[in-house]
Structure 1
Amino acid sequence: MELHGVRVEYGPVAAVDGVDLTVPAGEFTVLTGPSGCGKTTLLRTVAGFETATAGTVRVRRSTGVVFQQPRLFPWRTARGNVSYALARHGVPRAERAVRADALLARVGLAGLGDRRSWELSGGQQQRVAIARALATEPEILLMDEPFSALDALTRERLQEEVRELAATTRTTVLFVTHSAEEAVLLGHRVLVMAPAPGRVVAEVTVPFRDLATEQLRTAPEFTALRARVTELVRAAGDPAPAARTRTA
């Protein structure tokens, strides 16, 4: 995906301005920054839910979207929610149940296809939402703070699953989060945004993607980079003028 000079306005206010961004195939790119910096607006513009006032957005591949809330159909089972996406993708009815069950198993929900949304925990519901997004076999996955409403343990488990899923499928991911730890844990690259208007002010490359998730959480270099991203986010939210640093 490629963004050049993107500006998004809500009335007289520019939510995002002057954003240039290229995400190569297979990369896991994370957007982070203080509240109101335009992270979600930028992701929604890539998804086509918002229209850029100026600039260009080019997305050359199919996309799937996972929101902050699962947004499941409550009258459908877990299998039914995934089957709905398969139907919209043109999958024949005879194949949908098998394909849906395979996708649910892929996100750790094997055997739970017959459960309704109220019978699932918050983490399980978000797994269904991820399976539904994967049903269309997207080459790009857009994720807007998908774990923000979950408890800490469930969040850690889903972080690990998404990290492994992206690595095995080589899906291109654009991920929005407020958490510096989550950004460094998941991303190949972390982009820090600043508000008024929203723009990218720093870029950090994550060099230790080959480490297993549990090894990574306790590695000294992970702790140092997390602190660096936290510092950049705090600086981005500071209303006083500050020097912006790009980190290779």
Structure 2
Amino acid sequence: MPPADSSTTAATEARAAHAVVLDRITVRYGDARRGRRGRAPVTAVSDVSLTLDRGEFVVLVGPSGCGKTTLLRIVAGFERPAEGTATTHGEAPTPGRGTGVVFQQPRLFPWRTVGGNLAFALARHGVPRDARAARTAELLSQVGLSGMEHRRTWELSGGQQQRVAIARALAGEPELLLLDEPFAALDALTREHLQEEVRTLASRTGTTVLFVTHSAEEAILLGSRVLVMAAGPGRIVEEIAVPLPREPTTDVAALRGTAEFARLRGELAASLRNTATS
């Protein structure tokens, strides 16, 4: 068996050292052939590269149609690019393997209780039946829903349902958590509470997070790094580092009122305005 090429081995090791690597990703939709029913392909994302280190909280922000969700789906393994490569922890993305996903809508099973929804996820991840009740209680405690195992999902508020969705995503103890505008449909106060909880949860567990949003304020509050995307086709046009404290004990509510938070939010808002008019 011939020895592995040293450059190939080095590239493989470099990818494995990161939680996520997207290398020159291009995504196209539509028939590549023009014809009676075919359409010219539309390039949704063009030549996007990004890297997430383990434990990072990275936010993708940009206008509708810029490809944020498309990139998230590639990282999750739900889609494959037309060009380029994607890896999570050094391997090709596979749905459910080491990755939890939270969508804009909770997508819970309405015929199951809160505990039943989590038990289903735990069973899929191979947790023994006799360990599921304790793990369910632990997950609900993490998202501030202790004692609600027997509640029906339709009895919960929108914010509570989304907390259950986050708990379900954490059921397999994922190394990587992907969130696609999970708070967009919630009222402002509930949204603020969940932002603070997710930020604290990520800093406490060290989970790598890729988060999609339209909101400059949400992006600055949550991300340790923010990537600004533009449309036509989707591409990353700017990166903003967010050097705000991220310890689990950080008073997130107080952080919103600091001058540094206001400065970063203004910088990102200006970048988004420039992106929209360019």
TM-score by structure 2 length?
A: 0.84
Pair 1:225-2:264 in alignment:
yes
Structure 1 vs Structure 2: percent identity of aligned residues?
Answer: 64
SS of residue matched to 1:100: helix
Cα distance in 1 between the residues matched to 2:149 and 2:81? 39
Instruction: Give the partner amino acid of 1:160.
Output: E
Q: Answer with 55-64 or 163-172: which moved more.
A: 55-64
| Residue in structure 2 matched with residue 47 of structure 1 by the alignment | 76
Task: Give the RMSD, CA atoms, in angstroms.
Answer: 0.9
Cα offset, 1:184, TM superposition: 0.2
Cα distance in 1 between the residues matched to 2:179 and 2:185? 14
Cα offset, 1:204, TM superposition: 0.2
| Residue in structure 1 matched with residue 28 of structure 2 by the alignment | 9
Cα distance in 1 between the residues matched to 2:42 and 2:245? 38
Cα distance in 1 between the residues matched to 2:223 and 2:80? 26
Cα distance in 2 between the residues matched to 1:236 and 1:93? 51
Instruction: Give the partner amino acid of 1:142.
Output: L
| Residue in structure 2 matched with residue 216 of structure 1 by the alignment | 255
Cα offset, 1:59, TM superposition: 0.6
Cα distance in 1 between the residues matched to 2:263 and 2:99? 33
Cα distance in 2 between the residues matched to 1:157 and 1:8? 35
Pair 1:90-2:129 in alignment:
no
Cα offset, 1:101, TM superposition: 1.5
Aligned with 1:34 (options 63, 69, 73): 63
| Residue in structure 2 matched with residue 246 of structure 1 by the alignment | none
Pair 1:146-2:155 in alignment:
no
Instruction: Give the partner amino acid of 2:266.
Output: A
Cα distance in 1 between the residues matched to 2:132 and 2:256? 38
**Which runs of structure 2 are paired with 1:117-132 in the superposition (5 Å)?**
117-132=153-168
| Residue in structure 1 matched with residue 210 of structure 2 by the alignment | 174
Contact 1:188 1:209 in 2 (8 A): no
| Residue in structure 1 matched with residue 138 of structure 2 by the alignment | 102
For structure 2, the residue ranges without an aligned partner over 5 or more in a row are: 1-19, 31-40, 90-96
SS of residue matched to 2:237: strand
Cα distance in 2 between the residues matched to 1:209 and 1:28? 13
Cα distance in 2 between the residues matched to 1:36 and 1:28? 22
| Residue in structure 2 matched with residue 58 of structure 1 by the alignment | 87
Contact 1:107 1:130 in 2 (8 A): yes
For structure 1, the residue ranges without an aligned partner over 5 or more in a row are: 241-248
Instruction: Give the partner amino acid of 1:202.
Output: E
Contact 1:34 1:234 in 2 (8 A): no
SS of residue matched to 1:233: helix
Instruction: Give the partner amino acid of 1:43.
Output: L
Cα offset, 1:209, TM superposition: 2.3
Cα distance in 1 between the residues matched to 2:183 and 2:88? 25
Instruction: Give the partner amino acid of 2:77.
Output: G
| Residue in structure 1 matched with residue 150 of structure 2 by the alignment | 114
Pair 1:193-2:212 in alignment:
no
Instruction: Give the partner amino acid of 2:76.
Output: A
SS of residue matched to 1:218: coil
TM-score by structure 1 length?
A: 0.94
SS of residue matched to 2:256: helix
Aligned with 2:192 (options 156, 173, 185): 156
State how many pairs are aligned.
239
Instruction: Give the partner amino acid of 2:84.
Output: G
Larger RCO (CA within 8 A; separation ≥ 6): 1
